[in-house]
Amino acid sequence: MRIETRTGVWSVALLVVLAVVVLVSAGIGPVAITPSTVAKATLNGVAVPASVSFGQASVAGVTLPTPTVGYVHPFSFPVEGSHQTIVTTIRLPRILLGAVVGFALATAGVVMQGFFRNPMADPSIIGVSSGAAVGAVAFLVAPFAFPFGLGLQGAAFVGALLTAFGVYLIATEDGRTPVATLLLAGVAIQTFLGAVISFMLLHSGESLRQVTYWLMGHLDNASWGDVTVAALLVPLLFFVLLAYGRDLNVLLLGEEDAHSLGIEVERTKRVLLAVSSLVTAAAVAVSGVIGFVGLIVPHVMRLLVGPDHRILLPTSALAGAAFLVATDTLARSGTAELPVGIVTAALGAPFFLYLLRTQEVRSV
Amino acid sequence: MSRRNGSGETGKDAAIRVDDLVVELGGVSVLDGVDATVERGTFVGLVGPNGAGKSTLLRSVSGLLRPARGSIVVDGVSIAGRSSKAVSRLVATVPQNTSLSFDFDVRETVAMGRSPHLGRFERFGDDDERAVSEAMARTDVSQFADRSVTAVSGGERQRVLLARALAQDAPVLLLDEPTASLDINHQVRTLELVRDLVASGKTVVAAIHDLNLAAHYCDELLLLGDGQVLASGDPESVLTEANLETAFDANAVVSRHPVTGSVYVTALPENHRGDREGRVHVVGGGGSAARLLYLLDAAGYDVSVGALNEGDSDTETARSLGLDTVTVPPFAAVDAETQTAVESRVRDADVTVVADVEIGDGNRANLDAVRAARSLVLVEERPFAERNYAGAAAAETYAELRERATVVSPSRVVGAVAAAVDEAQNPTDAGRNSDATRSAQSSQSSHSSHSSQSSQSSRSSDHRS
């Protein structure tokens, strides 16, 4: 079967799985709601931009035309008001955020494992998560406001990108970035940032609980704003990475081989590193440090669909989305709600060890 | 096969031209002014010691390393500043070792060879599919196209990589040690395949550390040493003892392989001259003495040999070892004059060794000459009767020689010669048995009548003890 066909079949199947997981998950909680009601409530929430009208607004003394978009709700199924509210304003934002974050982490995991030709690589291997954590913790602990009106997510995002860029600069010499140097620089920077975070924790006082909670990885308090930003950014970046699927395959053969097969190795590495760091940063900024999704999901999908990145990337992304929605449902359906990072690690680590022992973690 | 196409168009239509190439790695210049031209449709072997710059030259031609100076032109296109995509359409590389530890199957791996021809959003088309199938058929890997590359043997993997390079559809193929980790049947199979590719128009440059394989399969060789071209041209002109000495700092013997007819290099142990002293004359022929000559020469003895026919394999060996050789024309009998020449060497020798040689009318005179020997070692693998074609007279002579000789099997010759030489050179030490006494006497008599060389060595060994 051609790779395009296989990719299509697997992607459709996993999209169905994701849809089912989302529907079921939105029905689970203190108020149980049937999947059909969830579906209706979701469709009721769909808004389609239908008209644009221009009004006048005055900015700094200049009068500018401002667009106002009119939305049409094409569906109006009869759904009990409280159920409608629970589904569209409480559960769906969280579930969709989980889906986007899972999608992003699994995507970045695939790319990093291929990039480093190392099955133990995960999205935060070059310190992206640590950088995000430093940004977030600083925001929560520091007694001053951040410049440019950065919020918590903004601070985490900036921290993540600064760290990734710093590690890249440290590991680059004469326009070449040896993968091994990058890996070691990442480890060193992560350790250093770990110390910075610990130091800030000591001085966090009142906000200690909030900081710890953020660090554990969580999806609650999700707003439609977070979801919208992440859901626009992540798929866009995903398609950039997917366009590099063939290059990632060839890079698995080693950089010299990749060069002789016509890949501009250093340029490709820069693109992959930058885009996957952005993807990871977007995920970590809105959800904190959620471990193991980016490690386990690519592994399992590689066992199922093989190492070709053209199929591995989309299937891993969709599976990551479904996996994180499912684990978050588990995390919030207990008597006391847990941060989802605890659940993914608690499930992921034993599963990983199982793979390790059964020799199924062979190679990238 | 530029040699065969004639040299008229040399250089004009070259597949690769390297001019004054200087490549530095970590501040050390690995290639230091390399000039080379590879004609279209030839198979050029890159030979030279480890660290000579073979891989560096290949990696420069594939555009992986940026030269500090000089130019590389492939197929009329200078590769400096070209994108790797553009270069990879001109030059395909078969790497020495590649990390094929991923579960791509063979077909997928070969298909990666098409990547220079595909745009980022371009689909794998029918042309690509055809190129992959052809490459796999050509290299005989089609039958395991669906197997994982991690599950094929070393020889098969080499062919898969070759198929990948063929799918790349570039006029020039670079091979880095294509036979390095293969067993001999796969070495030959791989190089036969490369040979076929060259015959169908590809230009191949391969770094090959096995000089004999290189000599046999390549049209031309380029000998690198210390980052420079020491010699280039056909294998005979490149693989000379002098060149090998310079490049490898090794003591090698160059001959022709009896079966393939190719230049054949044999490396001898570096410190091959032992410290034994004394003169030894050897009677052999038909290859019976070749190993013996090498061993005695290696032990340090001053070895002479004869009489042998020109063209005899023992003659070849003796010449390649640079020994004093008495010869007669091919198939000619040993005449009286030659017999005298042999006799004088036998007299000069401390010990004379007769190899397990077949005796006929032609070389019977050698046995007669050996009668003059002071001390005698006979090598017997077969009884003399089985290798005597010269009748009763020869048998009689041999029996007479055997009477006073040390008779040994081929594996003990050097020990026997050592003992005999010691006795011959230290007569005072001897006298325990009649043989020893006799050889001591003959030794003394020869001191007075003949060579000063012999007495010198005798003196020096006295001095030693």
Distance (Å, rounded) from C-alpha A47 to C-alpha A72?
6
Residues of chain B with pLDDT > 70: what percent? 86
Phi, psi of B327 (to 5 degrees): -130, 160
What are the backbone dihedrals phi and psi of residue B361, each rounded to the nearest 5 degrees, phi first? Answer: -60, -35
Put simply, the answer to whether B103 touches A306 (Cβ < 8 Å) is: yes
d(CA B15, CA B17): 7
B116 touches A: beta carbon within 8 Å: yes
Spans of chain A below 70 pLDDT: 1, 57-61, 143-146, 148-149, 359-364
Cβ contact (<8 Å) for B104 and A263? Answer: no
All structural domains of chain B, each given as residue ranges with its CATH number in brackets, are 2-240 (3.40.50.300), 279-464 (3.40.50.720)
Strands B14-25 and B28-39, by their bridges, are antiparallel
- Point out the residue among A260, A263, A307 whose CB comes nearest to the CB of B104: A307
Q: What b/e readout covers B288-323, taking b as 16+ CB neighbours within 10 angstroms?
A: bbbebbbbbbbbebbbbbbbbbeebbbbbbbbbbeb
Asked if B103 and A259 come within 8 Å (Cβ–Cβ), the reply is: no
Distance from CA of A5 to the nearest CA of B (A): 12
Altogether, the residues listed in chain A come to a count of: 364
CB A26 within 8 A of CB A43: no
Burial class (CB in 10 A: 0-12, 13-18, 19+), A205: exposed
Is A360 within 8 Å of chain B by CB? no
| Binary contact (B121, A243; C-beta < 8 A) | yes
- Tell me the three state secondary structure of residue B34: strand
**pLDDT tens digits, one per residue of B268-318:** 766 556 778 889 999 988 888 888 888 888 888 889 998 899 888 889 888
Inter-axis angle of helices B413-425 and B452-464, to 10 degrees?
A: 90
Q: Residue B328 and residue B318: Cα distance in Å, rounded?
A: 14
* Cβ within 8 Å of B, A 164-203: none
Is A260 within 8 Å of B92 when comparing Cβ atoms? yes
For residue A63, give every residue at least 6 positions away whose Cβ sits within 8 Å of its Cβ, in sequence order, or none: A56, A57
Does B344 contact A at CB distance below 8 Å?
no
Question: Per mean pLDDT, which range of A68-72, B281-285, B346-350, B399-403 is the poorest?
Answer: A68-72
Indicate the pLDDT class of residue B44, thresholds 50, 70 and 90: very high
Q: Tell the burial category of A348 from Cβ atoms under 10 Å away from its Cβ (0-12, 13-18, 19+).
A: buried
Q: What is B227-276 written as a DSSP string? A: TEEEEEESHHHHS-HHHHHHHH--EEEEEE-TTT-SEEEEEEPTT---S-
Please tell me the predicted confidence (pLDDT) of residue A359.
Answer: 56
Q: pLDDT tens digits, residue range A198-256?
A: 999 888 888 888 888 888 888 887 888 888 888 999 999 999 999 999 999 999 888 88
Supply the pLDDT for residue A131. 93
Q: What are the backbone dihedrals phi and psi of residue B73, each rounded to the nearest 5 degrees, phi first?
A: -120, 125
Higher per-residue pLDDT: B265 or B326:
B326
Token pair belonging to B155: 């020889």
- DSSP assignment of B303-361 equals EEEEEEETT-HHHHHHHHHT-EEEEE-TT----HHHHHHHHHHHHH-SEEEE-S--B-T
pLDDT at B220: 94
Grade residue B439 by pLDDT with cuts at 50, 70 and 90: very low
Output the CATH code of domain A3-43+75-357. Answer: 1.10.3470.10
- Which has more confidence, B166 or B51? B166
pLDDT of residue A263: 92
User: DSSP state, B302?
Assistant: E
Is the minimum CB–CB distance between A308 and chain B shorter than 8 Å?
yes
Give the pLDDT score at B8.
Answer: 39
Whether complex ipTM tops 0.90: no
Contact between chains at A253 and B123 (C-beta distance less than 8 A) = no
Contact B99 A253 (CB under 8 A): yes
Residue B218 pLDDT exceeds 80: yes
Interface check for A260 against chain B (CB to CB < 8 A): the answer is yes
Residue type, B320: S
Please give the Cα distance from B416 to B175 (Å, whole number): 50
Residue with tokens 């490396």: B267
pLDDT given for residue B416 in this prediction: 87
B112-161 per-position pLDDT tens digit: 999 999 888 888 889 999 999 999 999 989 999 999 888 888 888 888 99
pLDDT given for residue A308 in this prediction: 92
CB A261 to CB B116 under 8 A? yes
Measure the CA–CA gap between A68 and A51, rounded to whole angstroms.
Answer: 8
Averaged pLDDT, B232-256: 84
Of A117, A263, A307, Cβ closest to residue B84: A263
Among A209, A138, A134, residue whose Cα is nearest residue A164? A134
- Six token digits for residue A311: 């199929």
**In terms of C-beta density within 10 A (0-12 exposed, 13-18 middle, 19 or more buried), how is residue B356 classed?**
buried
Of A354, A349, A245, A364, the closest CA to residue A302 belongs to A364
Q: What pLDDT score was predicted for residue A215?
A: 86
Q: What is the pLDDT of residues B366-397, one digit of tens each?
A: 988 998 888 999 999 888 888 899 888 889 99
Residue B456 predicted with pLDDT over 60 = no
pLDDT given for residue A81 in this prediction = 83
Give the Cα separation of B23 and A107 in Å (integer): 40
Q: Is A232 helix (H, G, I), strand (E, B) or coil?
A: helix
Phi, psi of A49, rounded to the nearest 5 degrees: -65, 130
The dihedrals phi and psi of B328, each to the nearest 5 degrees, come to -125, 160
Measured between CB atoms, does B88 come within 8 Å of chain A? yes
A89-137 pLDDT tens trace: 888 999 999 999 999 999 999 999 999 888 778 888 889 999 999 999 9
Nearest-angstrom CA–CA distance, B222 and B234? 9
**A3 and chain B: CB distance < 8 Å anywhere?**
yes
